[in-house]
Chain A
């Protein structure tokens, strides 16, 4: 993987320059996700979360109707019921907000695109190959991720890799290539190493350390680490005490060229990213007076 120029990124109606760091706010339409389960199960609570996330500086919304962990079956029809009206409501309230939907099946994907979604966050790594066709048909974006050998909604069991980063790069670049062939706009493709998915904590730490190898491919990289188990295991911290660890991963990722950060904690993530942007010289301080008076 030689270094290449960062690719342009187009999501929805917007084009984002390579140096812009984007916060993707998580809004779960589930009763049983791992962090604050059921918090936004109620539609009005979920809409309140959207308003707050936008006010706190979210650039992208990521709506999910099915938890990643194993649990009671959520049919495609039920997923549609949970997600589609909500996407339509958010679209009505925010005509220009980039809306991503975390889904792995083409039926809900199609329905959310009809409701105004801009990005399909295929966390389960192309399990349903038709997802790319839906993205192409609606000219929306696609996240190409890595889950090793997992099938959707399963947990890793003794995963191992000769070289986890090589495996990740091979998979996500292969998916990106497949998506381009399926007709997805290359400027709308994002790659995601998918921390914790089909990986142990050591693997996720290795991937974090080597994120620069993924960003060097030029594809926009999505980092999804918010409050995940590898943060918890690393720090010996329960899920409600993983913000500092998450922000450390976020900061390292931003420094290594990651462009999109999927986050539960929008305000803190925005602040961490603005700080990195200012350190890099991409964003002037909000106000600089100290020593200049």
Chain B
């Protein structure tokens, strides 16, 4: 069963090697660090990281994000690079010095909600005590300067996701429209629905610790117990 869960976003800029000499979004980093600490405090047997990718697949837990894909000067580590969301999850676990068992589960970014929920139920059953780290972002179309430009539907969409979390309403998360999410470039949709499946009928206590769009992308950090 799920003993704790955390939501974190997946901008590459969470890797400090990529942001140059500036300290970018220290408050977001702090929130992510705290969320991982929350996850680990429940002493899970395994941490399952879930994030969207081109296809549903389980990745080798030793793999990491290939920073050189984003900054060639950063150099590679010789291991196959993880999809971004899983790579950021692995990075956050590394930064917390977590060396325990981990499952790196990619979910097809266009997977139907039912498939996501099913995947979540499977992860919840992976061990007696599972910590779930769902990595993904909200809309990328929240303003004229946003990477995805402005879409008027973006802010209501992100507000609805936040409300569902705040209400611990897993059914509402499960009901997010995949087509709308795709239109809004909300890469977190599939991972959130995996999370909803993992909690099944439970109503975990949720705490949203960061919700902002400093660069036009909705970043959300939350913990669920």
Q: State the A residues within 8 Å of B (CB).
A: 281, 284-289, 291-293
Contacts and interface: CB of A to CB of B under 8 A. Distances in A.
Contacts of A286: 20-22
B73 A289 contact: no
B86 to A, nearest CB: 17
B84 to A, nearest CB: 10
18 contacts: A285-B20, A287-B19, A287-B20, A287-B21, A287-B22, A287-B24, A288-B20, A288-B22, A289-B13, A289-B19, A289-B24, A289-B215, A292-B11, A292-B18, A292-B19, A293-B11, A293-B13, A293-B215
Is chain A's interface secondary structure helix, strand, loop, or mixed overall?
loop
Contacts, number: 37
Of all A-B residue pairs in the complex, the 8 with the closest CB atoms, nearest first, are A293-B215, A285-B20, A287-B22, A281-B73, A292-B13, A288-B20, A284-B20, A292-B12
B11 A288 contact: no
Most chain B CB neighbours (cut-off 10 Å) among A281, A286, A287, A288? A288
A292 B18 CA distance: 8
Interface of B: 11-13, 18-22, 24, 70-71, 73, 147, 214-217
Nearest to B11: A293
B156 to A, nearest CB: 21
Contacts of B18: 288, 292
Given A287-B24, A293-B215, 15 more contacts: A284-B20, A284-B21, A285-B21, A286-B21, A287-B19, A287-B20, A287-B22, A288-B19, A288-B20, A291-B147, A292-B11, A292-B18, A292-B70, A293-B11, A293-B147
Contacts of A287: 19-22, 24
A102 B152 CA distance: 64
Contacts of B215: 289, 293
A36 to B, nearest CB: 33
Nearest to B214: A293
Nearest to A281: B73
Contacts of B70: 292
A288 B21 CA distance: 8
Contacts of A289: 13, 19, 24, 215
A285 B21 CA distance: 6
A120 to B, nearest CB: 34
A108 to B, nearest CB: 40
